[in-house]
């Protein structure tokens, strides 16, 4: 059986509940799994985390709510509002919610005189 991220997180959470230190948890994972164990910085980041998934449900629900309230909301607005990374927002919106941000067509600010005249004549 191949272990994935959530399996390692469960083991780390178990060690946290056993009140092992981060170093003891790392040593135990390395002794059992060797090179297959997660990297030290990853273990330390996950240590003490109560959620085993990448995107807690409250983040998914919050992103969904912001998108429903304003279809033109930007990644940056979501990022500052919810204090989550742009990568997390992209993963939630694409994988969890099945939506993607489509960029509208941009018009250059600096137009030549010929382009300005063409726009006036078209209207």
CA distance 65 to 77: 13
Kindly provide the b/e burial profile for residues 112-122, where b requires at least 16 CB atoms within 10 angstroms of the residue's own CB: eeeeeeeeeee
Cα separation values, 105 from 1, 40, 59, 76, 108, Å: 49, 45, 30, 19, 10
Annotated domain spans of the chain: 5-46, 57-96
CA distance 23 to 15: 11
Mind listing the pLDDT tens digit for each residue in 33-65?
A: 888 888 888 888 877 665 555 556 788 889 889
Residue 23 has pLDDT above 80, yes or no: yes
SS3 state of residue 27: helix
pTM value is: 0.44
Mind listing the pLDDT tens digit for each residue in 48-107?
A: 665 555 556 788 889 889 988 887 888 889 899 988 888 888 888 877 787 777 654 344
Cβ–Cβ under 8 Å, residues 73 and 67: yes
């Amino acid at each position: 059986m191949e272990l994935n991220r959530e399996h390692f997180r469960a083991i780390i959470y178990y060690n946290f509940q056993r009140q092992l230190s981060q170093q003891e948890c790392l040593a135990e994972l390395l002794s059992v799994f060797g090179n297959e164990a997660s990297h030290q910085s990853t273990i330390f980041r996950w240590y003490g985390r109560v959620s085993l998934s990448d995107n807690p449900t409250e983040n998914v629900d919050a992103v969904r709510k912001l998108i429903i309230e304003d279809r033109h909301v930007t990644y940056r607005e979501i990022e500052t509002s919810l204090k989550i990374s742009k990568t997390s927002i992209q993963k939630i919106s694409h994988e969890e919610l099945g939506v993607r941000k489509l960029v509208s067509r941009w018009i250059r600010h600096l137009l030549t005189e010929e382009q300005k005249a063409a726009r006036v004549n078209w209207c």
